[in-house]
């Protein structure tokens, strides 16, 4: 099987290192030439909660050749039209494109590459790009090896190809097949909305969100908004790490205190994670906020989404100004919502 990792940034570097170490024919593809050069010359180096270096092959997109049997898609949704159109000549009839992007982009991907080629999944670990060729694993190592991915067919069937891809991704970490792929993606979206969104809007790590009473309470409200909007759109949320994520819906006012305690337990292994959207703001790049927190108000069907709305507004303002959000200013804005 010839494998491509399209978008070999922080996550792709980790994934590529383990797949290459497992003896697979894998090519890491990224537009950052210095990163590609470092990967080829020094290997893919992982630091953080573990340390390893693996010899890999990396290319920039214009140097892609031949066809790929499996493409792990890790580019940002902002660029899907051009990235996927450019990918088409490198696919054969039975090629599989596995979307590991944040959000719920699968229908758009299917429009371009064909529904029969698309499977999807959720990445359940975090990493931070530190320098060309080096990625920091920020999820606790044992959790990473137990829960790295959920993947599935768009129709929920457990096919031979999904089982084969499970074997490949298991070289990285625990890979679980979901029979409710849409629910899986919404469950990942929910966590991203709460912690990636607030990480970007507060200029902090997941741990920074957890440790502040106002922000962790706001995270619980963001989750509640996402669950309610998901249910309004007919979504059955899938479990994540064997946890019933939909149980975090706020049904009674007293629920939120227990939900905060639960969040502090389930997110603790990822406390070192810095959202990729915050990393984009640091580099003065456009973020995926419209495809993360922005999805909830877009699909709200009359449901109020003030917490997601606020996160979108703060991140978009930072994009426009080319600045980073101020932690204390965001906390004050969240406190105003908490007190309403």
Q: Is residue 241 predicted with pLDDT exceeding 80?
A: no
d(CA 189, CA 174) in angstroms, rounded, equals 20
Q: Is residue 67 predicted with pLDDT exceeding 90?
A: yes
Q: Is residue 68 predicted with pLDDT exceeding 80?
A: yes
3 state DSSP class of 7: coil
Per-residue pLDDT of 304-315, as tens digits, reads: 999 999 999 999
Strands 44-48, 127-131: pairing is unpaired
Query: Residue 286: which pLDDT band, with cuts at 50, 70 and 90?
Result: very high
d(CA 12, CA 44) in angstroms, rounded, equals 10
Per-residue pLDDT of 173-225, as tens digits, reads: 999 998 888 898 899 899 999 999 999 999 999 999 999 999 999 999 999 99
Q: Is residue 252 predicted with pLDDT exceeding 80?
A: yes
Pick from 150-159, 220-229, 322-331: least confident: 150-159
Contact 235, 183 (CB under 8 A): yes
pLDDT at 104: 86
Give me 282's structure tokens.
Answer: 């640091």
pLDDT at 205: 96
Backbone angles phi and psi of 198, in degrees to 5: -70, -35
d(CA 87, CA 335) in angstroms, rounded, equals 45
Contact 189, 295 (CB under 8 A): yes
What predicted TM-score, i.e. pTM, was given to this entire model?
Answer: 0.80
3 state DSSP class of 58: strand
Per-residue pLDDT of 21-43, as tens digits, reads: 999 999 999 999 999 999 999 99
pLDDT at 159: 96
d(CA 70, CA 50) in angstroms, rounded, equals 27
Query: Residue 240: which pLDDT band, with cuts at 50, 70 and 90?
Result: confident
């Amino acid at each position: 099987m010839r494998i491509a990792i399209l978008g070999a940034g922080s996550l792709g570097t980790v994934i590529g290192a383990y797949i290459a170490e497992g003896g697979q024919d894998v090519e890491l593809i990224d537009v950052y030439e210095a990163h590609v050069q470092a990967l080829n010359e020094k290997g893919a180096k992982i630091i953080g909660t573990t340390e390893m270096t693996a010899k890999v092959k990396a290319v920039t997109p214009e140097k892609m050749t031949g066809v790929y049997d499996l493409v792990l898609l890790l580019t940002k949704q902002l660029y899907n039209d051009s990235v996927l159109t450019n990918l088409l000549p490198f696919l054969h009839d039975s090629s599989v494109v596995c979307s590991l992007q944040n959000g719920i982009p699968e229908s758009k991907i299917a429009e371009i590459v064909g529904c029969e080629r698309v499977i999807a999944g959720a990445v359940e670990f975090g990493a931070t790009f530190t320098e060309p060729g080096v990625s920091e694993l920020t999820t606790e190592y044992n959790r990473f090896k137990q829960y790295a991915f959920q993947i599935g067919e768009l129709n929920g069937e457990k096919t031979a190809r999904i089982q084969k891809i499970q074997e490949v991704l298991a070289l990285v970490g625990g890979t679980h097949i979901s029979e409710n792929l849409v629910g899986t993606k919404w469950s990942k979206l929910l966590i991203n909305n709460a912690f990636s969104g607030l990480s970007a809007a507060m200029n902090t790590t997941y741990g920074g969100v957890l440790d502040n009473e106002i922000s962790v309470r706001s995270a619980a409200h963001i989750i509640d908004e996402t669950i309610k909007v998901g249910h309004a759109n007919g979504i059955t949320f899938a479990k994540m790490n064997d946890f019933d994520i939909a149980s975090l819906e706020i049904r009674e006012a007293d629920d939120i205190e227990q939900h905060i305690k639960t969040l502090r337990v389930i997110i603790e292994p990822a406390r070192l994670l810095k959202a990729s959207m915050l990393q984009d703001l640091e580099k003065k790049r456009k973020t995926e906020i419209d495809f993360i927190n922005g999805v909830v108000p877009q699909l709200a069907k009359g449901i109020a989404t003030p917490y997601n709305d606020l996160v979108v507004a703060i991140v978009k303002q930072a994009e426009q100004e080319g600045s980073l959000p101020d932690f204390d200013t965001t906390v004050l804005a969240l406190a105003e919502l908490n007190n309403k």
